[in-house]
Amino acid sequence: MKLLLGIGGSDDSIRALERTVARVAETGDDLTVAILRNPATEADPEGIEQRVRAVLDDAATSASVRHLDGDPGSRLVELAEQEEYDRIVLGGGETSPMGKIKLGGIAEFVLLNSHVSVTLVR
């Protein structure tokens, strides 16, 4: 399966990265990691890329790593549709002190707009 993981540096996106890479190490799926500009985080793209490379190395797994500039949700959906990915994978949101799940802005956009299946990692 051809997977496209979007990561913008939020905690839930890092968790999605770790879980997806662990799974790809078992399944051998074809993984692309797209580093997004998430306006809600202050993570710099180079720092995210280092993190991605470290997680891939630890799992002895390879993936293509790409940077997407501009609006994160729309760029991700565009890439997934144009290059015929089977699935978009994203972090499934943060949890408030109360325990309420709050979906991130990128996930909201992607869920409502993507013709490609979407997995939210919880």
Does the protein bind other proteins through residue 105 (CB under 8 A)? yes
Token pair 């909201």 is found at 108
8 to 51, 74, 121: CA distances (angstroms): 11, 13, 14
Question: Which amino acid makes up residue 57?
Answer: D
Does the protein bind other proteins through residue 11 (CB under 8 A)? no
Does the protein bind other proteins through residue 60 (CB under 8 A)? no
Select 60 or 98, whichever has its Cβ closest to other proteins: 98
Does the protein bind other proteins through residue 40 (CB under 8 A)? no
Does the protein bind other proteins through residue 42 (CB under 8 A)? no
